[in-house]
Structure 1
Amino acid sequence: MLIPPRPRPGDRVAVLSPAAALPAILPAPFDLGLQRMADELGLVPVEYATTRKWGSSPAERAADVHAAFADPTIAAVMTSIGGNDQIKVLPHLDADLIRANLKPFYGLSDNTNLCAYLSNLGIVSYYGGTVMTVLGRYGSTNPHSMEALRAALFDGGWYELRPAERWTDMGKDWADPANLLEEPEMFPGTGWQWHGGADTVEGDLWGGCLEIVDWNLRAARWLRPDHEYDGHVLFLETSEEMPSASYVYEVLMCLGERGLLQRFSALLMGRPKGWELEHQTTPQERTAYVEAQHESVLRAMREYSPDVPVVLDVDLGHTDPQLVVPYGGRCRIDPGARTVAVHY
């Protein structure tokens, strides 16, 4: 796997919306994120034609991806946020152009599509670090998220992930800019849950948002041959759509029936998002939702891959803090020491 050159403070960074152009509808958190990109990271954000163009076509969004990668003055590519149709962008991409112009790419959720695409080209990308969710966070940036983002952006090397001391899956209405002044409600850390194998494992990371992985499995266009995932570390997390525990189990079941789930050496499962502005659960409902998803994951792993380590509630998805993991990069899991390290 190729690790693209890293940006340095002062460099220009492309800010794209290859999934949904939510900055067009919710500009306040996006503009705040751009300001913090400059103030806290020392990077110069550069917008493209579709960054704020709601309803842009897949071909238009692909053209912006090409422009960003081809521009020699652009040192990295960061996404505004996720979406729900980026898989339609992939057929328009020029693999040769992207491979010839290595840039670190940062994205989450629907951007699983582009991360997997880059992985297929042998290029490491970074799952996390979206502008609106990390840099445009309510109140202030989360120090835990920013530590991981800076390590991935600027430092490289091995970085030890750690459980969040405080976390949240709650937010406020982005349509009201006044909400951006208030810190989100945070909860005490719960640590990680460890299950399965006892041996240390190391492998390249693959996965992302479980729903988008499911899409790619159904489309059967953007996956490598199954045997090429041998020994990889699978990482998954679920989105703000809060899929049911039965759906999560069924996706993993189908991975198992395909014979693919058994090829992975470990599973990192992100903390489930159990509350959403349009689905406001009680604390009891949130706990029940999370526990049901945990059991569905563990059930599938017991049935298809019982001897590998499984780590639950890693903060690598739609909750806060949002850690960064290298998609296609190395990951080392030590169940004895209960540590997880990634190589940026």
Structure 2
Amino acid sequence: MKILKPPKLCDGDTVGVIAPSYPVLPFHQMYKKGITNLKKFGFKVKEGNTVKLEHFGYMAGTDRQRAEDINSMFADKEVKAIVCAIGGQVAIRTLRYLNFDLIRANPKVFSGMSDITTFHVAFLAKTGLVGLHQTDVIFGFGADMTSKEAKYEMDLFFKITKRAEPLGLLPALTRWEAWREGKAEGRLFGGNVPSLQALLGTPYFSKPDEDVIFFWEAMKQPLDLLDQRLVQFRETGLFDRAKGMLIGKIRGEEAGAVKDMTSEVKKVILDITSEFDFPIIANMDFGHYTPNLPFPMGLKAKMDTDGAKVWINEAYVK
């Protein structure tokens, strides 16, 4: 797995903000708060055209408009990092219009989660660029910065993007669970389950050719649907190079309240992966409706279920 690391972030750098999937408008107040907080942290902000656009109600502009925003931010020498506003479901529609040669020639911190997984996987396959599965503008920088959850996420974001050194042991905000015991080392690979599934069989997905620690998260959904998606990963050979598995919090909103189905998933995961012996740590601090740990796609990591510990053993930035 050939990887390309971005330069580190510095105080006063310009951060580009784009909406490459879902539109910002339904979350406008949280978005404005996120932009304000980015500036309070000492960054200049350059907003892309897509943060003002809406198409079909679920896209922040047409496919070409969203792709052009991405290409433009990578081409802009002033922009040192790109933070996505929000996830969605239609990032995959932009991929055919991206200039991967341009992206390869201008590596930058690229952060986001959920459907932004699409870009992390595609960038790794097409350019080797390491994307950061973590903070976005609306639910990351737009959170209440006085809360322990926001402080947890922001502290990790700045440590991994500003320091050209391995992050090391990941701190746990909540209690992580060991579902299958053992130790493992490998490169981090994974992200949001539906987004990963959508990429299977496309030119933008390269099955890992090295040992990996497979990390994944998903919103609360019918158990049989999640079962089907994970079985597809198994049957396409995605688990063949997996030496370990990290699972986030599987949450969703029902009747105005956040519901968690992580415990329901345990028996399904252990059944689907019964032919494998890789260790599993679950209920980790990443996913939807939770602060997010940083997972740089393609970097070396290790895990040990004794104490439910995970380390990132390689610097994300240079």
Normalised TM-score (structure 2)? 0.90
- What SS does the aligned partner of 2:50 have? coil
Q: Which of residues 229, 250, 273 is equivalent to 2:228?
A: 250
1:15 and 1:339 mapped to 2: Cα distance?
33
- Contact 2:87 / 2:112 at 8 angstroms: preserved in 1? yes
Opposite residue 91 of structure 1, the aligned amino acid is R
Distance 1:98 1:197 in 2: 39
1:261 pairs with 2:239? yes
What one-letter code is carried by the residue in structure 2 that aligns with 1:296? V
Following the alignment from structure 1 to structure 2, what is the Cα–Cα distance between the partners of residues 148 and 156?
A: 13
Contact map agreement 2:179 2:266 (CA 8 A) in 1: no
Measured in 2, the distance between the counterparts of 1:68 and 1:107 equals 15
Number of positions where the alignment pairs a residue of Structure 1 with one of Structure 2:
303
Secondary structure, counterpart of 1:77 in structure 2: strand
Q: What do residues 157-202 of structure 1 show as CA deviations (whole Å, max 9, x unaligned)? A: 22221221xxxxxxxxxxxxxxxxxxxxxxxx3x111132423x22
Aligned with 2:39: secondary structure?
helix
What is the rounded CA distance, in whole Å, between the counterparts of 1:151 and 1:38 in structure 2? Answer: 18
1:153 corresponds in structure 2 to 161
In the alignment, does 2:109 pair up with 1:104? yes
Structure 2 unaligned spans of 5+: 56-60
Q: Deviations over 1:230-279 (max 9, x none)?
A: 3111110002xx22222222222222222321221111011111x41x54
For residue 162 of structure 1, what is the aligned residue in structure 2?
Answer: 171
Amino acid in structure 1 at the alignment position of 2:267: E
Distance in 2 separating the partners of 1:130 and 1:210? 18
Shift, 1:138, TM fit: 4.1
Structure 1 residue 52: Cα displacement: 1.9
Distance 1:337 1:294, change over 3 A: closer
| Cα distance in 1, alignment partners of residues 285 and 306 from structure 2 | 20
| Aligned position for 2:95 | 90
Opposite residue 36 of structure 1, the aligned amino acid is: N
Q: Deviations along 1:118-162, whole A, 9 cap, x unmatched?
A: 111211110011011011114745111111111122124222212
Corresponding residue for residue 213 of structure 2: 233
Question: 1-side partners of 2:225 and 2:210: how far apart?
Answer: 25
State the partner residue of 1:49: 49
1:301 matched to 2:273? The reply is yes
Is the contact made by 2:281 and 2:308 (CA closer than 8 Å) also made in structure 1?
no
Counterparts of 1:291 and 1:195, CA distance in 2: 10
Q: Equivalents in 2 of 1:76, 1:203: separation in Å?
A: 26
Q: Distance in 1 between matches of 2:202 and 2:105?
A: 26
Correspondences of 1:258-337 after superposition (within 5 Å): 258-273=236-251, 275-276=252-253, 279-280=255-256, 286=259, 289-302=261-274, 304-305=275-276, 307-337=277-307
Q: Counterpart of 1:28 in structure 2: which amino acid?
A: Q
8 Å Cα contact 1:246/1:296 also seen in 2: no
| Superposition deviation, residue 62 in structure 1 | 0.6
What is the identity percentage for the equivalent residue pairs of Structure 1 and Structure 2?
24
Matched to 1:237, the amino acid is: E
Whether contact under 8 Å (1:316, 1:325) holds in the other structure is: no
Deviations 1:189-241 (A, max 9, x none): 3x111132423x22211110011111112x533211x3x343111110002xx
Aligned residues of 1:15 and 1:79 also touching (Cα < 8 A): yes
Residue 231 to residue 71, structure 1, CA distance change in 2 (3 Å): same
Query: Which one-letter code corresponds to 1:106 in the other structure?
Result: S
Give the match for residue 60 of structure 1: 65
Return the alpha-carbon distance in structure 2 between the equivalents of residues 10 and 281 of structure 1: 39
In the alignment, the residues of structure 2 paired with residue 156 and residue 317 of structure 1 have an alpha-carbon distance, to the nearest angstrom, of 25
SS in 1 for 2:49: coil
1:36-85 CA deviation, whole Å, 9 max, x = no partner? 1111x211111011122112101111111111001111100100011111
- The offset of 1:294, in angstroms, is 2.3
Partner AA of 2:140 in structure 1? V
Q: Secondary structure at the match of 1:314?
A: coil
Aligned 1:109-258 pairs, distance under 5 A: 109-120=114-125, 121-138=127-144, 140=146, 142-159=150-167, 160-164=169-173, 189=174, 191-199=175-183, 201-217=184-200, 219-224=201-206, 226=207, 228-239=208-219, 242-258=220-236
CA contact (8 A) 1:245 1:293 kept: yes
Looking at structure 1, the residues matched to 281 and 178 of structure 2 have their Cα atoms a distance apart, in angstroms, of 5
Deviation, structure 1 residue 13: 0.7
Deviation at 1:337, TM superposition (A): 4.9
One-letter amino acid of the counterpart of residue 223, structure 1: F
Deviation above 6 Å: which 4+ runs of structure 1? none
Note the aligned Cα RMSD (angstroms): 1.8
TM-score, length basis structure 1: 0.83
Contact 1:229 1:264 in 2 (8 A): no
What 5-or-longer segments of structure 1 have no aligned partner?
165-188
Which range moved further: 263-272 or 135-144?
Answer: 135-144
